[in-house]
A = this chain, B = another copy of it.
Amino acid sequence: MKELPVHIQLNPDDRKHLYEQIYGYIREEIRSGNLLAGEKLPSSRYLAESLQVSRTTVDMAYGQLVSEGYLEARPQRGYFVCALEGLYDIPTAAALPHPEHRFGEKKIASGGPVQNDGKFRYDFSPNAVDMSLFPYATWKKITKNILVDARSSMFSLGEPQGDRELRVTICRYLHASRGVNCEPEQIIIGAGNDYLLLLLEKILGRHIPIAMENPTYRRACQIFRSFAWPVTFVPMDEGGMRIDALRDSGARLAYVMPAHQFPTGIVMPIGRRMELLKWASEKEERYLIEDDYDSEFRYGSRPIPSLKESDQNDKVVYIGTFSKAIAPAIRISYMVLPFKLLKAYRQKCGFYSSTVSRIDQTILNVFIQDGYFERYLNKMRKYYKGKHDLMLRELKPFGKDFKVSGENAGLHMLLTDRRGRKESELQQLAQEAGVRVYPLGDFYMETPPQGQHKAAVILGYGALQPEEITEGLRKLAEIYCP
């Protein structure tokens, strides 16, 4: 066993948590090649003793490394370093920010108003957003203050890319919360993701073959098709999009959700991320589109990093939105363009007027800068964590008949049937109990090969009240696991 632990210099005065120092140290050892694939790490008990920290602290660090794909946990045997593609060319990442400086986002991938036609007492929609904790009063106060000060400059047309002040704020936010290093020049603010994708079409052109995961986010697919981009659906394994199939697809672009794939909830491990980045760097015209839609709602230790954080070759177009982190009505999204694409942006669509009002940009900027956003997200994270834990408790009785997955992040989980029932049957049964569930099959954009798609239903819990979760899942258990 490698004498790893003795090198870790823990600093209790560091602003980083101890678990994060351990996590960061081991991660760097792996990324730099000091720890090689297949090597076994000390047991968490041993490491805890030698570092004089609690075992929980070490477990948190190991857990994070496992969920990011640096380590693999083999039952009864311990933790092993995973094989990582192309790690040699990744320099040391910037120091991790303090968790308190991290923001989260509450978002749900697919948009559109959720319809409940009254047939369902409990709607486990993966699209719904809970606005009950939204600081309406704060938002109103900021709006009022801004309008009091506002004169004509606030009512004038701003820069096409968005107001610089807000872009600077977003840069800081992305650096602190998602490890993204970018310049305000790379950021384009627009009224929603769909609009930003429209700009991306102008930048990249038409007829660009794009690969998507299968199942995936349906509206993104519709949008790409409206660009005349031929879409190929690449099958996934437990690490997400399969790289061999991506290579076979002939695609030039790949659209991925590495932090929490919609709808499967898969967190893409670091090894797969490296392979993906390597694929993109092999040809000049290849790019990755990272839709980082609900990355902050991770219920373990620290958030899953973004793919953009590891993007050393300027290959990732990063897209995020405040529409769902704050409120769907706030039509503000942002896109971080690789430097290589900035010139094309300026030539081909840099003259398009901004789609976001300066008033709204200013309100958002104040909301973030004055710390309201962070506070709101922390509150939401706790609130959702409560619902999340309740979900897991209430899903225990399902354990014999279903596999529960996708629970590491986001606002929905998957129940995969073990008894050979069809999704239509599961949906029908739920409906009879007054419960609306969402068949996974609806998110497959093309039929997967025989046996690859196991019957599963999606349970979104973002907008449900705790008592609704309890009652809904109990009704479901009665009919699913009689």
Contact = CB atoms under 8 A, between A and B. Distances in A.
B191 A327 contact: no
Contact of A156 (B143, B222, B329): B329
A348 interface: yes
Interface in A351-396: 351-360
A444 interface: no
A327 B154 CA distance: 9
A410 interface: no
Contacts of A111: 157, 353
Interface stretch (A133-141, A231-239, A244-252): A133-141
Interface stretch (A57-65, A192-200, A258-266): A192-200
A32 B131 CA distance: 59
A312 B330 CA distance: 39
B155 A327 contact: yes
B226 A348 contact: yes
B140 A155 contact: no
Given A191-B356, A226-B349, A329-B359, 6 more contacts: A134-B152, A143-B144, A143-B147, A155-B328, A192-B355, A222-B351
Nearest to A330: B357
A214 interface: no
Interface residues of A, number: 55
A129 B153 CA distance: 11
A112 B152 contact: no
B147 A191 contact: no
Contacts of A302: none
Contacts of A422: none
A155 B129 CA distance: 10
A352 B156 contact: no
16 contacts: A111-B157, A113-B157, A132-B152, A136-B147, A136-B150, A140-B144, A140-B148, A155-B328, A155-B330, A156-B329, A157-B328, A191-B356, A193-B353, A195-B195, A219-B353, A223-B351
A74 to B, nearest CB: 44
A202 interface: yes
Contacts of A228: 206
Contacts of A206: 206, 228
> Could you say which of A193, A351, A360 has the most chain B C-beta atoms within 10 Å of its C-beta?
A351
B140 A351 contact: no
A158 B113 contact: yes
Contacts of A219: 351, 353
A323 interface: yes
A379 B236 CA distance: 62
Contacts of A323: 157
A157 B112 contact: yes
Given A147-B139, A349-B226, A156 B113 contact: yes
A443 to B, nearest CB: 15
A166 to B, nearest CB: 13
A175 to B, nearest CB: 27
A390 to B, nearest CB: 22
A420 B289 CA distance: 57
Interface in A147-196: 147-148, 150-152, 154-159, 190-195
Contacts of A112: 157, 353
Interface centre among A144, A193, A329, A352 (most CB of B within 10 A): A329
Given A156-B328, A329-B157, A330-B155, A355 B191 contact: yes
Contacts of A358: 329
Nearest to A160: B112
